[in-house]
Amino acid sequence: MIPRIILAALCFDFVLSVAFGVDFVLGHPVDRLSRFIDLDGEVNLPTWWASVQWFGVAACLWPFAVRNAARARASSGLLFLLPIIFALFSLDEVAKLHEGFGGVLDRFFLDVPRTATSVSKTGVWFLLLGVPFVAAFALLIVALRPHLRRLPVAFGRLVLGMALFFTGAVGIEGLSNLVVQGSAFDTLQVLAEETFEFVGSTIVLWGSYELVREPGGPRIEGQTGRDAPAAG
């Protein structure tokens, strides 16, 4: 059974995607509204929604990490990296951190303006920052698996959600360099990218919500005595 709050989030994901598509089909009849719901825009409803989603994930995973970190197992301290990473995701949506780093990378690695290269829309960030981050995050998930194996469904949702998110944020966004900006294909690319990101982050939120609601939290393997979470 999907919790009502998650179902509502999924519905809002699709409302934003559909509104963006309909606005394109109608030819952007109201400029201010088009900017407000532009999935490829900044400081508008989609970016605020994405920021709220990631903040919700971080807010769920922080108490889960506090409850389950064990002094007896140093690796359990890695649990705190998850809420920190997702809090940075939330900040990035409104502060455009990766765009800023991307601009620095472009100036350092490109000898000509970005518009004159094969990565004219994204720049080199998705190759030099995005792909390595995906690999590092995958290693983190592998390291945390022993601490989450007692909740396989929630853990699976975290993994599935991040896989969908990275497919959109890195994979499909990379394809944006191959389409003509402003064309129908460009709109379809943005729609696919952002929908994958929205749905992926909502599924991550679902898994995080289940983790924080677990009564007393799962006891980490190897915990004993005062290192074990209190029951009840």
Rounded Cα distance between 20 and 45, Å, is 11
Sorting pLDDT into bands at 50, 70 and 90, what band is 71? low
> Percent of the chain scored above 70 by pLDDT?
90
The residue type found at 128 is L
pLDDT confidence bin for 215, thresholds 50/70/90: low
| Nearest-angstrom CA–CA distance, 177 and 186 | 9
Q: Are 69 and 63 in contact (CB under 8 A)?
A: no
Decide if 73 contacts 228 (C-beta within 8 A): no
Most confident of 14-23, 90-99, 144-153, 220-229: 14-23
Is residue 10 predicted with pLDDT exceeding 80? yes
What pLDDT, on a 0 to 100 scale, did the predictor assign at position 127? 84
Instruction: Kindly report, residue by residue over 116-172, the tens digit of the pLDDT.
Output: 787 888 888 888 888 999 999 999 999 998 888 888 999 999 999 999 999 999 999
Domain boundaries of the chain, sorted by first residue: 47-217
Q: Show the CA angle centred on residue 159, arms to residues 153 and 160, nearest 5°.
A: 85
CA distance 165 to 197: 4
